[in-house]
A and B are shown apart, each in its own frame.
Chain A
Amino acid sequence: MQPQPAIDALRAQIERIEGRSKRARSALPFGIAEVDSRLPGGGLAFGALHEVAGGGNGAIDGAAAALFSAGIAARTRGKVLWCVTRPDLFAPAIAQAGLIADRVIYVEAGDDKTVLACMRRGFAMAAWEP
């Protein structure tokens, strides 16, 4: 992507108006230059919503997405809140991705609406620290 100073300045201005810029933005780099250089901030931004989506084949691609997310979460600190609709994650695999069992609190919400509500609670209370 080409640098666009005018748009970047506008974005910064909007953020200032919305009062969101109090929190220092930081990011979690993947440590792979090819990936990090294409991400704003040089990695996945903390305090932001990221979607890890599989392909169309829900059950199978979802498994890979779960493992990928676990790998990312493993590189942060503190507890991880994992909201699921159905309990089909296998904890040993999550641990093998580096996210040890003591760190993950699972919330079994039953439906998508409750998952989102629980996640919102989590966002509201989580202390965002890199």
Chain B
Amino acid sequence: MARVVSLFLPSWSTDRVRRKASAAAPSAEAPLVLIGREGSRRAVAAVDAAAYGAGLRVGMAATKAQALVRDLIVQDADPAADAEALERLAIWALRFAPIVAPDPPNGLVIDTTGADHLHGGEAAMLETLVGRLAIAGAHARAAVADTWGAAHAIARHVERPIAIARARHGSAAFAELPLEALRIQPSTATALRTLGFQSIGDLLAQPRAPLALRFGPELGRRIDQALGDAAEPIEPIRPRGLIEVRRAFAEPIGAAETIARYVGKLVNELCERLEEHGLGARRLDLICRRVDNDAQAVRVGMAMPVCDAKRLTRLLCDKIETIAPGFGIELMTLAATVAEPLKRQQVVSSLIEETVADVSDLVDTLMNRVGERAIYRFAPVASDVPERSVCRVPAMAADSGADWPGHWPRPSRLLAHPEPVETVALLPDHPPVSFTWRGVRRRVRRADGPERVFGEWWKRDAELVAVRDYFRVEDDAGERYWLYRAGDGEDAATGSHRWFLHGVFG
């Protein structure tokens, strides 16, 4: 089942103008409108949120807008620059999935079938997408659904920054939405309203023939596209200067072995091209165009630039099972969407030096299976607060040689959130005599501590005086735990004096 993300940028033109002006940009509260020409009439072409709130609308005469709002900032609209910026955004969005296309005038469409797990699931992926755009100063709403039509409708007509329609939603996901959500001409929508239709659901219940007779084939086509009954291929955008090879088949291919053979041929060609440029691929996108004009995409990522045909072929062939060939594939396109200069390394002779096994191949394979964020190494951070003392670094990051200070034993398991425990303990500096964790009371036989950890006042004001006293305790069964008391046991300002279990030594 296909999954399509539609990204809606409600104030793309004005966001772009503000972004271009960067430091000199008018403040976000100042209303901004862009003026375009409709024949000889100067009319409002785009309004930002502040101007919309002040009652300005697209299509209003420029002079009227200026009369309505004081201190209105007026600039000329530039649709060509907007479209160009949208294309650049589409190229940026290629990091999420191989098939991305601009959806003018103010949207993007991304085919994320089988790509979401690499970004931590659909919700996390959309959050990243919208969040990154917000940081760049563009308001965005994103929706994911089974079809372009449905995602387009939900993104534009559901007032939520992120909307996820469950898989195989059918018509339920958009039946409540207004008629305009179907991407039909405004005149058609008005005429339908006159006939008494309010939502898409009303329209779906109607026989199709009279509607086609009255409004032409466009309406039925849009309904079918939203339902997924009619195909709507997404023509993927390709950045300029992309290293790409393609192969068209006179006779459509479908067998996995045949696909694997041609993948091998394409990879060989691509590697030759990469070698000419002295590059290695960091990401490969294979797009298979089927006879029914549907596109199946496979993406593999590499931790380091790679220009080894065998390795790349294997990575791609691991994913052949995700390609649904349908009635056959007639065109295969392989592109190195991210390529970086290849650093050649001289291999030392094993006679004099110990060779270190190269694990980048394994890391690549696993990365494409579990996702880039699920394979990592830990690195030390200079912090005494246990949960802050580690950070994740990419698996292939250079060895730092850094280590944690080993003054105090640390538990091999650290709970993600310290769990409160009921204790019997003497204040101010005695370890507990017994504690109850997860409903089991444990008597403390031995204890060591306290190890006092102070709050990091430079991070949060609340940590200025905060203190934790850590104790290592062993119960009757010989199991060892890492407990701490919030606060120093004397001054209530340093913490609540409640006890928590933070880790298990085993």
Contacts and interface: CB of A to CB of B under 8 A. Distances in A.
A78 interface: yes
9 contacts: A61-B506, A63-B505, A88-B415, A90-B390, A91-B378, A93-B411, A100-B403, A105-B363, A121-B369
B412 A67 contact: yes
Contacts of B386: 90, 92
A64 interface: yes
Size bracket, chain B contacts: 35 or more
B370 interface: yes
Nearest to B401: A102
Interface of A: 54, 57, 59-67, 70, 77-79, 81, 88-97, 100-102, 104-110, 114, 117-118, 121-122, 125-127, 129
A90 B506 contact: no
B261 to A, nearest CB: 22
Interface stretch (B43-51, B88-96, B353-361): B353-361
B375 interface: yes
A108 B479 contact: no
B413 A63 contact: yes
B369 A64 contact: no
A89 to B, nearest CB: 7
Contacts of A122: 362, 366
Given A92-B404, A127-B357, A106 B377 contact: yes
A86 to B, nearest CB: 9
A128 B505 CA distance: 31
Nearest to B361: A125
Contacts of A96: 404, 406, 409-410
Nearest to A114: B370
Given A108-B370, A121-B369, A127-B357, A90 B414 contact: yes
A78 B356 contact: yes
B506 A67 contact: yes
Contacts of A97: 412
Nearest to B374: A108
A61 B376 CA distance: 25
